[in-house]
A = this chain, B = another copy of it.
């Protein structure tokens, strides 16, 4: 893959619907996938995220999804942004696809001048957030996301590969600085300070925001999480694993939109996913729906840990000694060290989960989930409960040692208004 240099973009221009058709027609292998002739193709724009243009093109034989970076944030043209994010999404796909071919899309084409990425279309799939808002809960999806996090992070970590290969990949993704800066600012700094990008609908949330900003242990924990995010390159992360980055038909599930990919702590991906499940939990009107959310969290964590530890176990026959960790010691020490490793991911997950909840309620980029609660006082009550839950997770006045502690705290916060 050639590297993307935002300076060399003389040929770049933003594609419209006809441009997409012409562009695809110029690529025989992609055109062949669609079948027929360009006139037979149905091309439409489906951009719904903040950043990029996204098109679907369907032909008689198949469909593709084409994503192009804009030189600015899609929803805010005054916010300028380099184009290279598509390069990082393509690089991320190429790095992880061999390990999760059933859980993401293949990079079919990447154009380093136009910053265009083409992947297969997921035409029968729904965005997971949309499914959750419609009350469709599939425990299988949570298990698949757990597998995805386990397989993609394990494969790109020091546990699976000689450090030289890990370092080469770190070198690549350490250049994804524009989007990493967005994560740092929008998730790990802004909500804890006055910033024009912050906003929240109901003034009733203001005292809780103030309480977060006045809590020494919240502020210290946020700084520790930021330092950790930037100095613990355990594995290649998706970097933005919210329920809008997951498409599913209930059986088949695909993780998309890896443009925030960066090396970081595994608990960051897990935390963002669980944080979004928890936001959805607090936005769910009925008890049965709420219980289904707790099931999904439980299922996600169980499947993540099982899959991760199985992969680790299978490494014991590795040839290269430098990639073996805790393999030469006795079984009980080995199990102890491995569970410590998982326990550290768990604590990271709790922390990053809390930051995700907070930033989605009082930061720049909100989520749609709460719109299903049409009664405004209920919505506010639930948002307050979600924020207070996040505060508890960060402060851990009562330590959260297990997933059971965590789920118990969640129920408590739902019932205490």
Taking CB atoms, residues of chain B closer than 8 Å to A164 are: 177, 181
CB pair A322 B233 closer than 8 Å:
no
CB-CB contacts below 8 Å: A129-181 with B: 158, 163-164, 166-168, 170-171, 174-175, 177, 180-181
Judge if A319 is at the interface, Cβ distance under 8 Å. Answer: no
Contact residues of A between 320 and 345, Cβ < 8 Å to B? 321-322, 324-326, 328-330, 332-334, 336-337
CB-based contact A325/B189 at 8 Å: no
Give which listed residue, B168, B223, B324, contacts A326 with CB less than 8 A: B223
Q: Find chain B residues with CB under 8 A from A177 CB.
A: 163-164, 167
Contacts of A321 in B (CB 8 A): 189, 193
Kindly state the separation between the CA atoms of A257 and B219 in the bound complex, as whole angstroms: 40
Are the CB atoms of A330 and B167 closer together than 8 Å?
no
Main secondary structure of the interface of A (DSSP, over half): helix
CA distance A168 to B334 in the complex (A): 36
A-B contacts, 19 listed (Cβ < 8 Å) = A163-B180, A163-B184, A164-B177, A167-B174, A167-B177, A167-B180, A171-B174, A171-B175, A185-B322, A189-B322, A193-B321, A216-B329, A216-B330, A216-B333, A217-B333, A219-B326, A220-B329, A220-B337, A226-B325
Chain A residues at the B interface, C-beta cutoff of 8 Å? 158, 163-164, 166-168, 170-171, 174-175, 177, 180-181, 184-185, 189, 192-193, 216-217, 219-220, 223-224, 226-227, 230-234, 321-322, 324-326, 328-330, 332-334, 336-337
